[in-house]
């Protein structure tokens, strides 16, 4: 009610000033004219004054109504800005602050008397380099809206994360005369995100430790391939990077490589450790281990992106592999990469039934099987780099 009374008093003062000034002018001018004229003109002058005063009263009422409505609209807008939960800053085109709302003081600790007349760099934390602010100013001076996040500094020196939208204000001619910035404190949200990221990282590390433990258990069970899982994983990661695979996808490739033979857990020891050749029936069972891998891993959601290697690393470029008989580019790319590495490691390390092949002999074999067993493009990159990777 106090604000409304204030607006009414303001409207009354303006209207009363207008009525008094207009009345004085009408009365004075008409009386002077009447006294300078004949007596019969005096009666006409009184009538003229009455008409003039009626006109003044009517226009005064209209003026009061317009002033009150205008003040009411301005008050609503001003109250909305003052009551806004987000901090609002109005600055000129040079960045000098002209107005702030109470939420700005709550957010930054700076009262309006501290902020008005100061530059917006008042809040800079030193966290961002000049290129950050250059991009921001280039955006708004070109007439575009800038949206982004930044770290700012409160009056007490503490830092906070802020989400901000800066909108240029133009006059009718198109010239930018002001900037309006709306600021929101997102420190709590950012802290929560950081905590969540840290928790996810810890969980991912725990997952990877578990996977590493599984691969070591596989090596211990199949002693003739001791160290095989880690060796093929390292080489596969090198090859994947060389072939342009992103680091995000390499995370899944590493997991798939470590777990490529986990399905052998479902193969009986009598077959897995048999010293002599396997029978056809035993080979049929052995060839099921990629399917066992899938059955075991597909139920674990975070390992779903890593399934390509365990399920498809025994497929062949010519379509004569297993378990699905995929051909050429039907074979997932990670499995095509891994297949080359897997055979290379098997050839260049001792097995109970033969000694390790020399590097040159293994290279010749891999090259000969390009386009038959292996993707030719993968073979080309692998052979060009394997010596360097093996010695690193």
Measure Cα distances from 194 to 127, 189, 197 in Å: 17, 9, 5
For residues 151 and 63, the model is more confident at 151
For range 125-130, the mean pLDDT: 93
Taking the C-alpha atoms of residue 128 and residue 335, their distance in angstroms, rounded to an integer, is 43
Strands of 154-302 (E only): list them: 159-170, 176-185
Top-confidence range, 219-223, 268-272, 352-356: 268-272
**Model confidence over 85-127: pLDDT tens digits?**
789 999 999 999 999 999 999 999 999 999 999 999 999 999 9
Confidence check: pLDDT of 371 > 70: yes
- For residues 256 and 338, the answer to whether their CB atoms sit within 8 Å is yes
**Model confidence over 1-25: pLDDT tens digits?**
444 455 556 777 777 887 788 777 7
Phi/psi at 215 (5° precision) = -65, -35
- Identify whether 337 is preceded by a cis peptide bond (ω within 30 of 0): no
Q: What pLDDT score was predicted for residue 221? A: 61
Q: What pLDDT score was predicted for residue 1? A: 41
Confidence check: pLDDT of 29 > 80: no
Q: What pLDDT score was predicted for residue 113? A: 93
Taking the C-alpha atoms of residue 84 and residue 86, their distance in angstroms, rounded to an integer, is 5
Q: What pLDDT score was predicted for residue 222? A: 60
pTM recorded for the entire structure: 0.56
**Model confidence over 268-321: pLDDT tens digits?**
888 877 877 889 999 999 999 999 999 988 888 888 999 999 999 999 999 999
Measure Cα distances from 126 to 104, 108, 111, 153, 232 in Å: 20, 16, 22, 9, 46
Among 199, 201, 300, 218, CA closest to 257: 218
Query: For the chain, what is the total number of helices (H) and then of strands (E)?
Result: 15, 5
Q: What pLDDT score was predicted for residue 2? A: 43
Q: Name the 3-class secondary structure at 211.
A: helix
Confidence check: pLDDT of 349 > 90: no
For range 68-79, the mean pLDDT: 65
Taking the C-alpha atoms of residue 290 and residue 47, their distance in angstroms, rounded to an integer, is 111
């Amino acid at each position: 009610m106090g604000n409304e009374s204030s607006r009414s008093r303001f409207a009354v003062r303006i209207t009363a000033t207008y009525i008094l000034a207009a009345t004085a002018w009408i009365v004075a001018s008409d009386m002077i004219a009447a006294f300078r004229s004949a007596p019969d003109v005096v009666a006409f002058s009184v009538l003229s004054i009455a008409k003039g005063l009626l006109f003044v009263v009517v226009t005064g009422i209209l003026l009061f109504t317009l002033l009150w409505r205008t003040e009411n609209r301005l008050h609503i807008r001003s109250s909305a800005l003052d009551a806004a939960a987000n901090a609002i800053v109005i600055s000129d085109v040079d960045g000098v602050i002209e107005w702030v709302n109470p939420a700005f003081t709550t957010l930054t600790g700076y009262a309006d008397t501290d902020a008005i007349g100061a530059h917006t760099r008042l809040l800079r934390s030193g966290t961002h380099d000049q290129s950050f602010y250059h991009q921001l100013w280039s955006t708004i001076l070109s007439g575009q809206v800038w949206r982004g996040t930044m770290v700012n500094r409160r009056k007490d020196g503490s830092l906070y994360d802020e989400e901000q939208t800066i909108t240029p204000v133009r006059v009718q001619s198109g010239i930018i005369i002001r900037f309006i910035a709306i600021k929101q404190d997102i420190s709590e949200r950012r802290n929560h995100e950081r905590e969540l990221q840290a928790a996810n990282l810890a969980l991912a590390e725990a997952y990877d430790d578990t996977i590493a433990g599984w691969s070591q258990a596989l090596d211990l069970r199949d002693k003739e391939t001791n160290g095989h899982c880690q060796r093929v994983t390292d080489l596969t990661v090198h090859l994947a990077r060389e072939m342009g695979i992103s680091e995000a996808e390499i995370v899944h490739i590493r997991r798939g490589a470590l777990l490529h033979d986990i399905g052998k857990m479902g193969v009986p020891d009598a077959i897995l450790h048999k010293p002599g050749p396997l029978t056809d029936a035993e080979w049929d069972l052995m060839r099921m281990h990629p399917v066992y891998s899938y059955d075991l891993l597909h139920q674990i959601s975070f390992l779903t992106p890593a399934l390509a290697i365990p399920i498809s690393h025994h497929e062949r470029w010519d379509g004569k592999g297993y378990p699905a008989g995929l051909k050429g580019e039907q074979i997932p790319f990670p499995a095509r990469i891994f297949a080359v590495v897997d055979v290379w490691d098997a050839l260049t390390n001792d097995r109970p039934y033969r000694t390790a092949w020399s590097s040159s002999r293994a290279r010749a074999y891999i090259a000969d099987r390009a386009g038959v067993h292996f993707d030719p493009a993968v073979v080309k990159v692998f052979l060009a780099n394997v010596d360097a990777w093996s010695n690193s």
